[in-house]
Amino acid sequence: MIVLEGLEEKEALERLQESPNPKAKEELPLPPTNRLGYRGLLVEHLGKAKNRLPSKLRVIGGNGVDANRTIRLSDPGFEHFICGASGPIRRLHLSAKVVEGIHVELENLHVQPMPRKSKLGKPSKACQCAPLYEPAWWNDGGQRQANNNCYNYAANYRTDTFAQPGLAAGTMYGAFTGADVSAAALADDLESTSLDNVCPEQGHLVALVIAPGVDFHWYRKGSDGLWTHKPGGMATTNLDNSNQIITDPRTADRGMYTDFRQFMVVKHGHIKLR
Amino acid sequence: MVTSNSVSQTGRWVGRIEVFSGRRNPEWLLPAGQGEALRAAWHALHPAAGPAPAPPLLGFRGLALECDEESWLVFRGLVVHHCLGATEVKADTDGDFENLLLDSAPPGLLSPPILALMHRS
């Protein structure tokens, strides 16, 4: 059970309101409750019911269900608000497998994530420019996922070419060393920074790590202040090699990427990747 | 199955080492007959006693083999076979399947650092 309080409760209640869209008045079928697997989120008021919402509501597939009817919610992505990487579900400390299973079910139910509202979101003011963690967009299981690597993801720049630092500028790295890959990224117009795991005023923070002599890897800091990454053609993730949320890539379990090189800044619209 | 490279073609057998993040994974087309030899090697394996371990997110994630709708992933002595939604796990106790797949790679493709990463995992 997760208890929502304060701003989080306020935002949840706003998202649970019936949609003002005229289509909301159209009758929706009651979803089945006797299925295996994910059967929705049960939302219950612990005190007096507020905002004319039913005291108990099951949210599934972007709709709310009370005893008698199905309601279109003003936020059809409510389940992502709760179950997303930065959502309150984190407080349950579920295994990554369970959370991933829920995300798969939400995808099957066509629940689309919606951004947190900036006035209520956790990120500090300086992180407002950072990209959201939206794994569903990158993890399409097809060409987008397979042909965009850690560098694409960290820069939030899709090329479908498995982008290589420096290639667009004609000065690709020559060796898998911090110095070489870093110089190549600077040629792509990423910027050096002295920021220490702090979001910049403009753009967003990325981090370069090296598996000496064999490969490089990048992370990016999201609007929630946490770090995410995309291991090659695999799915994006907010976990490290020990299945822990990443608060600082310097201390994360990075497997063979043992050398932390540096933080850099990606200014949106300034960089060129290929 | 998501592939990290582009040599996969209909009816072709493709081998790959899942290991990198920034650069493309080493990938190769198998010589004629090798794919069927690997299929025969797969059939000769015995079912695994338990589920396959989840490979790490970063680092060596296994040796992959693909042909059309079928794929195999060798990791820590187990071979996971996927075909049209069905999954089967077998034990490659003596490494026969793994070695046959490694031997199908062109000479020089799998450099000593890559092989070292494999064996370290």
CA–CA min distance B116, chain A (Å): 11
Q: Given CA atoms A153, A155, A157, A163 in this order, what sign does their dihedral have?
A: negative
Q: Which two tokens stand for residue B52?
A: 């396959």
pTM beyond 0.80: no
| Confidence at residue A69, expressed as pLDDT on a 0 to 100 scale | 77
Nearest to A215 among B4, B23, B61 (CB): B23
CB atoms within 10 A of CB A101: 14
Laid out side by side, the sheet with B86-91 consists of B27-29, B14-18, B62-67, B70-75, B78-83, B86-91, B46-47
Mean pLDDT of chain A: 85
Nearest to A256 among B3, B18, B59 (CB): B59
Q: Which two tokens stand for residue B110?
A: 């799998």
Q: How many CB pairs under 8 A join A and B?
A: 79
- The residue among A173, A176, A182, A234 with the most chain B CBs within 10 A of its CB, best to mutate, is A234
Q: Which two tokens stand for residue A62?
A: 């972007």
Q: Look at residue B40 and tell me whether its pLDDT is greater than 60.
A: yes
Single out the residue of B62, B74, B2 nearest to residue A233, CA to CA: B2
Q: What ipTM was assigned to the predicted interfaces of this complex?
A: 0.89
Q: B21 to chain A: nearest residue by CA?
A: A232
Residues of A with CB under 8 A from a CB of B: 141-142, 145-147, 149-151, 162, 164-165, 181, 211, 213-218, 229-234, 237, 239-241, 254-257
Q: Average of pLDDT values for B112-121? A: 87
Q: Which of A41-55, A56-70, A132-146, A252-266 is predicted with the least confidence, judged by mean pLDDT?
A: A41-55
pLDDT 10s digits, A110-147:
665 654 443 434 444 558 889 999 899 999 999 999 99
Q: Look at residue A266 and tell me whether its pLDDT is greater than 60.
A: yes
Q: Could you tell me if B7 and B27 are in contact, meaning their C-beta atoms sit under 8 angstroms apart?
A: yes
Higher-confidence residue of A6 and B62: namely: B62
Residue with tokens 């994974």: B25
Query: How many angstroms from the chain centroid is the CA of residue A79?
Result: 14
Query: Do you know the residue count of chain A?
Result: 274
| Confidence at residue A219, expressed as pLDDT on a 0 to 100 scale | 98
- How does residue A268 score in pLDDT terms, banded at 50, 70 and 90? confident
| Confidence at residue A31, expressed as pLDDT on a 0 to 100 scale | 67
CA–CA min distance B20, chain A (Å): 6
CB atoms within 10 A of CB A136: 16
Q: Look at residue A256 and tell me whether its pLDDT is greater than 50.
A: yes
Q: Average of pLDDT values for A247-251? A: 97
Count the alpha carbons within 13 Å of A103 in the hemisphere toward its beta carbon.
24
Inspect the interface and report whether the beta carbons of A149 and B3 lie closer than 8 Å: no
Using CA atoms, how far apart are residues B16 and B105, in angstroms rounded to an integer? 9
Nearest to A232 among B20, B56, B113 (CB): B20
Single out the residue of B62, B8, B5 nearest to residue B35, CA to CA: B8
| Confidence at residue A94, expressed as pLDDT on a 0 to 100 scale | 79
Q: Average of pLDDT values for B16-36? A: 96
Nearest to A231 among B3, B21, B114 (CB): B21
Higher-confidence residue of A80 and A170: namely: A170
Inspect the interface and report whether the beta carbons of B20 and A214 lie closer than 8 Å: yes
- The residue among A148, A160, A215, A219 with the most chain B CBs within 10 A of its CB, best to mutate, is A215
Q: A217 to chain B: nearest residue by CA?
A: B22
Q: Which of A19-23, A164-168, B111-115 is predicted with the least confidence, judged by mean pLDDT?
A: A19-23
Question: What DSSP assignment string belongs to A177-208?
Answer: SHHHHHHHHHHTT-EE---SS---SSSEEEEE
pLDDT 10s digits, A93-104:
777 777 777 877
Q: B55 to chain A: nearest residue by CA?
A: A241
- How does residue A85 score in pLDDT terms, banded at 50, 70 and 90? low
Q: Look at residue A27 and tell me whether its pLDDT is greater than 80.
A: no
Q: Look at residue A231 and tell me whether its pLDDT is greater than 90.
A: yes
Inspect the interface and report whether the beta carbons of A234 and B57 lie closer than 8 Å: yes
Instruction: Report helix angle B96-103 to B34-44, nearest 10.
Output: 170
In chain A, the percentage of residues whose pLDDT exceeds 70 is 84
Name every chain B residue with its beta carbon within 8 A of the beta carbon of A217.
Answer: 21-22, 58
- How does residue A222 score in pLDDT terms, banded at 50, 70 and 90? very high
Inspect the interface and report whether the beta carbons of A151 and B22 lie closer than 8 Å: yes
CA–CA min distance A161, chain B (Å): 10
pLDDT 10s digits, B66-113:
999 999 999 999 999 999 999 999 999 999 999 999 999 999 999 998
